[in-house]
Amino acid sequence: MAASRRDALPTSEQFAVWRAYIQTAEILRARVQARLQADSNLSDGDYKVLLALSEADGSALRSSELAAIIEWERSRMSGHLGRMEKRGLVRRERHDEDARGSRVVLTGEGARAFRASMIPHLEAVKGIFVDAFTDVQLDEIDDTTTALRTHLGLPPMSGRSRA
Amino acid sequence: MAASRRDALPTSEQFAVWRAYIQTAEILRARVQARLQADSNLSDGDYKVLLALSEADGSALRSSELAAIIEWERSRMSGHLGRMEKRGLVRRERHDEDARGSRVVLTGEGARAFRASMIPHLEAVKGIFVDAFTDVQLDEIDDTTTALRTHLGLPPMSGRSRA
DNA sequence: GGTGTGTAATTGACATGTAAATCATGTCAG
DNA sequence: CTGACATGATTTACATGTCAATTACACACC
């Protein structure tokens, strides 16, 4: 008995799809994160920060630029950078031109940690996520993710568009 | 340029599918959670606990049973129950037969909060998630989620199996 | 030069998550 | 009985996330 598209409430089947989807995605995230942590002693957040800094001109960015790239709150970035600085992955320097902002600089140790983490991280994504599916299923995921992003008003980021 | 199934690393297209999938799922979770919080002042965790207790015999469960149902660490459950107890949503009683365990009991206030939250929450899931897709796409999500759960060694929880 | 306003970033207070250690109780071999 | 071990749950320590308040500086206008 298919429910009308206009019903305000989901059918129990639809709700079950939601529950399975969201719970599975959570577990997936946790597994990949755990591998990154075990292989490279980096959290997901660490990885994003290191990635952004690696790609930045001079391996340095202002904290707010970093926050904008990663789409984090500034306060979240602030706390995270504090922890990363304590571990020697980044360094914060006073910004000469505008002393309100600080320059976040990738340290040699940070760059080394990031380089060492990349291959294992990609392998983990392959083994944990990609290998679960057939090529057709991966395309379906691409489609449904795109549909969802459109519905949510998010910019597209399809994998197929770059093929 | 399809990559062999056996390559250790994902293609850039495959990796893009991963990034889109995981990022979109996060945003989705955050949106539904925000609605639940705004409508009912409950977190996702609160809702899960209340749901499990509501369905339980006598509106009570042992803490470890609750943890097993929701698939949480026991320590996580412990901390969460502490916060929920402070807000009057649940109560912990000494278990008579086995004094190691405690009985987690749904309070009247907890039951009321849960009942009040259900309809808005279902509406949110419908509007934010279900309505993004065609029926065919929802079936595809069900399929790919099932494939992923199998790959991850998780028990199945398909929406179609209950249709 | 001061003073108000905006902006960059940090701080503080809390909720949430994970892992390891601890505590209390139960169970069972001897 | 009793001592070793198993089990249920909490505690502790810390990482992570959000929000509101605060600090430090820049800049424009008088």
- B46-65 in b/e form (b: 16+ CB < 10 A) is bbbbbbbbeebeebbbbbeb
Q: Which residues are CB-neighbours of B99 under 8 A, at least 6 positions away? A: none
Work out the average pLDDT over A33-60. Answer: 93
Q: Give residue B158's pLDDT.
A: 75
CA distance A148 to chain B (A): 5
Q: Is the pLDDT of residue A104 over 50?
A: yes
Q: Residue B102 CA to nucleotide D7 C1', Å?
A: 13
- Residue B25 tokens read as 């799922």
Helices (DSSP H) in chain A: which residue ranges? 12-40, 44-55, 63-70, 74-86, 108-128, 135-151
E-strand ranges in chain B read 60-62, 90-94, 102-106
Neighbours of A69 (CB within 10 A): 16
Helix axes A63-70, A44-55, angle to 10 degrees: 110
Domain ranges for chain A: 12-131
* CATH ID of B15-130, from 2.30.30.100, 3.40.1170.20, 1.10.3720.10, 1.10.10.10: 1.10.10.10
Q: Is the pLDDT of residue A8 over 60?
A: yes
Instruction: Indicate the pLDDT class of residue A162, thresholds 50, 70 and 90.
Output: very low
Q: Is B25 at the interface with chain A, CB within 8 A?
A: yes
pLDDT above 70 covers what percent of chain A?
94
**Cβ <8 Å between A25 and B23:** no
Q: Is A20 at the interface with chain B, CB within 8 A?
A: yes
Report how far residue A121's alpha carbon sits from residue A116's, in angstroms, rounded to the nearest whole number.
9
What angle (nearest 5°) sits at the alpha carbon of residue B127, between those of residues B137 and B15? 45
- Where do we find the tokens 């509406």? B123
Q: Give residue B95's pLDDT.
A: 83
Q: Give residue B162's pLDDT.
A: 44
Q: Is the pLDDT of residue A3 over 70?
A: no
Contact list, A29 vs chain B (CB under 8 Å): 22, 25-26
Q: Residue B78 CA to nucleotide C30 C1', Å?
A: 37
Quick check: helix, strand or coil at residue B77? helix
Q: Give residue A6's pLDDT.
A: 63
Supply the DSSP symbol for A148.
Answer: H
Q: Give residue A97's pLDDT.
A: 82
Is domain A12-131 classified as CATH 1.10.10.10? yes
Q: Is the pLDDT of residue A80 over 70?
A: yes
Q: Is the pLDDT of residue A47 over 70?
A: yes
Look over chain A and give the mean of its residue pLDDT values, rounded to a whole number: 90
All residue ranges of chain B with pLDDT < 70 are: 1-6, 161-163
